[in-house]
Structure 1
Amino acid sequence: MGTRVILAVPQWEYASKLADYLREEEPTWEIAAFTHISAMRMELDNHRKSVDLLVGQLEMLEELNVASDEVKRIIALVESNGDAGGKWTELLQYQPLTTLLSAIRNEVTSRVVQAREGCKVITVFSASGGIGKTTTSLNMIRQAGERGLATFYLNLETLNATAILFGQGEPDRLSRLLYVLQAYPDKWDEQFQQLRRHQPQLRTDFIDAPDHPGERLALSSELLETLITRIRDSGKYNLIVVDPDSGATDWHCKLLELSDVIVWLTIDDRQSMSKAKQLLHYWQEQNAALTDKSMFILNKALGTGLVNAWSLPGEEPATCLPYIPQWKASDQPSRMIGSPVFCGAVDELLDQLGITKRTASVRRRKEEHHDGAHRVDARGIS
């Protein structure tokens, strides 16, 4: 049996709308909704051991008087923060469905995260621009989310272009988070909860990246280490994928040291391979151990064999990611995460990286299998 989530909300329309949305976005979950105390109490009496998470309106939970031995994970739907008095995890009841889904997913996956020894940090790196780092990063995030892992995408590129996928957010969020890290570290948990966002199509949390390049240019290795450590140690994620630019600064070196795996991309181009070889030699002088945790991958592969001699570690690339010619002329950026061929190659890459499945069965929705546009659901409950 998959994850079983129970909704206990007296308003039928609200319960029905939320239940339908959860079924749509998480087809492997078993969702049941109850609007009456008597039916909810009978459900708990008969099937409490199979309930993974109970999401209920505060007044209904209080009337049910649910004990911790009946359901260990409970979310109270409240009108204002603090209404539950610390008894249960709180979630504001009236807000966008995507936000509700993100909070419920976090609660469901936290059990998996806590059972692991921390979370894995993967940096997708290249020696020059235009290699496909961001496209690869986002596909890795999406495929890992489909495998049932809780993920976080950290964009550290000097020039941000992800707004076309994530939507126009608040570009000062990273600045605010970094400020809190330095000035008010004791308020980190509260601010991180408020400033992170969720992208339901990619099934990942993220922080809006700054529009101005100065934020990343001023980043220090010490501050970067604190940021990644706090996100990793939050206990919310199985996987952090970092998408930096192609620089060679101190914080780049620190990032590679902090990473569990470096997915190093190159393409079958003489200049690209030459730059990769030069930068790799530079990093080896800084820290020889970085090579041991690097996986060198050929991106935009044509499937006809290499034109240029492979000059990076290994006799050949660890794996190849295919060239998708349709992406060149695409005016719909969401297509970059919908190619079946590329998704299949990324799935194999995740297997090589040991990013294993966490759900009994992972069923992709039909619209996610074809190379077409995808909808970002912005519906809400109000």
Structure 2
Amino acid sequence: MVKRVVLAVVQREYAAKLAEYLREEEPGWDIAAYTHDSALRRELQGNGKIDLLIGQPELLGQVMQMCGKAGKIVALVDGNSSVGEHWIEIGQYQPLPTILSSIRGAIGLEAAVSAEGCQTWTVFSASGGTGKTTVALNLARQAGERGLRVFYFNLESLNATALLFGKGEPDSLSRLLYTLQTHPEQWDELAKRAIRHQPQLRADYIDAPEHPGERLALTPELTEEFLRKLKSLGRYDLIVIDPDSGADEWHRRLLEISDRVLWLTLDDVQNLRKTEKLLRYWHEYFADKMYKFAIVMNKSNGNRFVNRLEMPAASEPILLPYIPQWKTVDQPGRLLSVPAFAGAVGELLVGFAGSDGTTNGGRRRREGGYENERTRSGGVG
């Protein structure tokens, strides 16, 4: 188990920021940071055990002959370094959560969360225009702020999340799906390279394809296997899934295997009738699983309904407020910054998951919970 950690980074501000973040996220680690080789040498010459040494190659290279007492060595590289013989390399200029995740993986801590400890929550609707992606993004953000390790998975055939995430590598999902079917033993390593972190969202993700072919080719079996492999990485407490609307077999299977389903609808007669028809169509599959469904009435103007959902097995709808200013929003990131909506989604997360604000099997990163969490830096460099 990691106890003593030595950080060796030339840039004083970078070293201070990374050390502070590691202390917050891993309170059991005793962290010492050094920016000069002379101070680092004195540390290495001491008698104390060092479980983990994290540093830049320029510092590590100067003291390499003294590093035998370090249990594990991780080098922070800028992308131009060759693979070190004596250490494991990770990228230095990444968001802080990604750096920590890479460090955990390098020293074998990623398996601390089992696949059974990771839950999948799907945000679904029977028709478009319900604000499904906005709810899914806010759900991921609120879960991340509560200390859960979150993966946001967009499965829309046509999506606009690149406005938030950037273009990235649009072939990532295609390669992962192909590898899963042809060389499944290589999938884990490819996935770790394809996964990115979005600091504002406080969640990991995979770049979405430019074209809808991958989504349209999904089968129930491929969907289930992909999620199983994603959970088996052991990196997440919660996967938030954002599929498009539809009544295909893979949609139904996705809802079946999800731990929670937030089914969005609006207070208009056409949307409600579509919801009723699809629930009845799938009733034989979901009859004994309605406990994991929550009907969510989005864009609500209050506690009064003009229309009613005529489904005896459905729960009373949960309300999310209508946000008029979103009609003029031109940046998706602004969808995450409305306190009234974020608060309502946070209550939904707590109410649907449990009174402690975590998913079953999830965990808080620190005692004190959400109210005492400090705003974390999204990245370094």
Q: Please confirm whether the aligned pair reaches a TM-score higher than 0.5, indicating the same fold.
A: yes
Equivalent pairs, count: 354
Partner of 2:337: 338
Is 1:104 the counterpart of 2:100 in the alignment? yes
Contact 1:337–1:343 (CA under 8 A) maintained in structure 2:
yes
Rounded Cα–Cα distance in structure 1 between residues aligned with 2:175 and 2:113: 31
Mapping for residues 254-293 of structure 1, pairs under 5 Å: 254-293=253-292
Aligned to 1:324: 323
**Residue of structure 1 in register with 2:365 after alignment:** 358
Runs (5+) with no aligned partner, structure 2: 359-363
Is contact 1:76–1:84 with CA below 8 Å preserved after alignment?
no
Measured against aligned partners, the alpha-carbon deviations of 1:206-264 in whole angstroms (never above 9, x if no partner) come to 11111212221111111111110000111111110110011111111111122111111
Q: Is the 8 Å Cα contact of residues 8 and 56 (structure 2) preserved in structure 1?
A: yes
Q: Is the 1:277–1:311 contact (alpha carbons within 8 Å) kept by the matching residues of 2?
A: yes
Cα distance between partner residues in 2 of 1:26 and 1:131? 41
Whether the aligned pair in 2 keeps the contact of 1:201 and 1:376 (CA below 8 Å) is: yes
Q: Look up the SS of the partner of 1:55 in the other structure.
A: strand
- d(CA) in 2 for partners of 1:121 and 1:270? 30
Matched, 1:203 2:202: yes
Return 5+ residue gaps in structure 1 as ranges. Answer: 369-374
CA distance 1:18–1:272, change in 2 (3 Å): farther
**Alignment root-mean-square deviation, CA:** 3.3
Could you say which residue in structure 2 is the equivalent of 1:34?
34
Q: Deviations over 1:322-352 (max 9, x none)?
A: 1111111122321100111111111111112
TM-score (normalizing by structure 1): 0.80
Secondary structure of residue in 2 paired with 1:97: coil
Greater alpha carbon shift after TM alignment, 180-189 vs 17-26: 17-26
Identity of aligned residues (%): 45
Flag the 1:376–1:280 CA change in 2: closer, same or farther, 3 A.
same
Kept in 1: contact 2:56–2:76 (CA 8 A):
yes
Corresponding residue of 1:371: none
Partner of 2:16: 19
Contact 1:197 1:207 in 2 (8 A): yes
Shift of 1:113: 6.8
Give 1:215's aligned amino acid. E
**Could you say if the C-alpha distance between residues 194 and 337 of structure 1 is closer, same or farther in structure 2, counting changes exceeding 3 Å?**
same
Corresponding residue for residue 176 of structure 1: 175
* Structure 2 letter corresponding to 1:167: G
Question: Residues of 1 paired with 2:99 and 2:67: CA distance?
Answer: 22
Shift of 1:89: 5.2
Corresponding residue of 2:136: 137
Go from structure 1 to structure 2 and tell me whether the alpha carbon gap of 1:336 and 1:22 turns closer, same or farther (over 3 Å shift). Answer: farther
Contact 1:156 1:244 in 2 (8 A): yes
Q: Deviations over 1:174-194 (max 9, x none)?
A: 101101111111111111111
Equivalent pair of 1:76/1:89 in contact (CA under 8 Å): yes
Partner Cα distance (2:65, 2:180) in 1: 37
SS at match of 2:334: helix
After TM superposition, the structure 1 = structure 2 runs for residues 50-199 of structure 1, keeping only pairs within 5 Å, are: 55-57=54-56, 59=60, 63-68=66-71, 75-77=74-76, 80=81, 82-83=83-84, 90-93=89-92, 96-98=93-95, 101-105=97-101, 107=103, 114-115=112-113, 117-199=116-198
Aligned amino acid, residue 33 of structure 2: A
Q: Mark the CA change 1:43 to 1:322 in structure 2 (over 3 Å): closer, same or farther.
A: farther
Task: Quickly say closer, same or farther: Cα 1:315–1:245, change in 2 above 3 A.
Answer: closer
